[in-house]
Amino acid sequence: MSNDLYNKTKYTLPDGQEVEIDPIREYFCEDRPEVVEPNRNIVERFFNWARAESLFILGFGTGCGAIEMRPLMTPRFDAYRFGIQWRPTPRQANLFIISGYLSVKTLKRVIRSYEQMQAPKFVIGLGSCTINGGMYWDSYNTINRLDHYLPVDVYVAGCMPRPEALLAGFEELKKRIKAGKGEGANIYARDFDWYKANQKQVITDWDMPDYNW
């Protein structure tokens, strides 16, 4: 922990009593994520239909691809008619679009945001950069394969893909969710150690809890 914010600190209360606060324990949760076995009954299928028809996107543009999401909000493409909308906080979102190249500094914030989202949650990799690095494949500062750090449901290839391609990606994601394949959160929980090892190999100054909701 390089950041003092996360170290144990002693505070003196107004009445003179000394307390020691360990922010990792006090403000965050130490528990690992758990796999929630999905039911295969008719109620779950109804839930999956409902989830697919109300995708709430986290408004976090990580790279240049975020510019392709703006036309989707406007009347020409109007993604809202498909039940897709953008939310300002991870707590209200269930779809994370990694829009384009992802630098190591942003990856750290992306992981935090992803872990704060409520399961079931889905990830779309937008643009070639999330698949194999794209034009930044030999850069010192951008990751190459997004699926080593987060479980990805759908990739939309292109540099940049048009908004139509993104809409097609949404349709593909809906099919997956309705078929019960949108299990990204469970995959993340199951392979948690592998994901964490990959993340920590890249993020050398890891100064946050391993899992934080």
Q: Which residues bind other proteins (CB under 8 A)?
A: 2, 103-105, 108, 131-133, 137-145, 148, 198, 201-205
Nearest approach, Cβ of 170 to other proteins (angstroms)? 24
For residues 188 and 182, the answer to whether their CB atoms sit within 8 Å is no
SS3 track for 20-71: EECHHHHHCCCCCCCCCCCCCCHHHHHHHHHHHCCEEEECCCCCHHHHHHHH
Single-letter amino acid, residue 136: Y
Least separation in angstroms between residue 140's CB and other proteins is: 5
Using the minimum distance from each CB to other proteins, give the nearer residue, 94 or 142: 142
Distance of CA 188 to CAs 57, 79, 178, Å? 19, 28, 20
- Distance (Å, rounded) from C-alpha 181 to C-alpha 184? 8
Measured in degrees and rounded to the nearest 5, phi and psi for residue 36 equal: -105, 110
Question: Please, which residue, 56 or 195, has the CB nearer to other proteins?
Answer: 195
Q: Smaller CB distance to other proteins: residue 84 or 111?
A: 111
- Closest separation between CB of residue 207 and other proteins, Å? 9
The residue among 131 and 166 lying less far from other proteins, judged by its C-beta, is 131
- Cβ at position 204, least distance to other proteins in Å: 4
Q: In this complex, which beta carbon is closest to other proteins, that of residue 95 or of residue 107?
A: 107
Residue 61 CA from chain centroid, whole number: 11
Rounded to a whole number of angstroms, the minimum distance from the CB of residue 42 to other proteins is 39
